[in-house]
Amino acid sequence: MFCAIVIIVNVKVLINSFQYTFWSVTLVAISILSFFAVFALFSSFEFMSTYGELGHTYNRTQIYITLFFFTSGYILIDSGL
């Protein structure tokens, strides 16, 4: 799932940069939210190949649990725990 890649890479860049300022956290949040905005936009047009995927993919609880598990797992690995 491309969403997991976007979230994990953004969190990994934030952790590896050691820059936990307001602006760096805000930019990472904007980057992740922009992915969802563009995906929602592409999912709403009938002529796109991703039509209807947003509602189909993100209405299941398993998606969010998996995203949380993998993101927290990479944070633990990067932190050396």
pLDDT digits 0-9 by tens, 5-45: 788 888 888 888 887 889 888 988 999 899 888 878 877 77
pTM over 0.75: no
Q: Which residues contact 4 (CB under 8 A, 6 or more apart)?
A: 66, 67, 70, 71
Q: What is the DSSP letter of 80?
A: T
pLDDT at 30: 93
What string of DSSP letters covers 14-78?
HHHHT---HHHHHHHHHHHHHHHHHHHHHHH-TTSTTTTHHHHHTT-HHHHHHHHHHHHHHHHHH
Domain residues of the chain, as ranges? 2-15+22-79
| Residue of 51 and 38 predicted with greater confidence | 38
pLDDT at 51: 64
pLDDT at 16: 81
pLDDT at 55: 66
pLDDT at 59 over 90: no
pLDDT at 34: 92
SS3 1: coil
Q: How many residues does the chain have?
A: 81
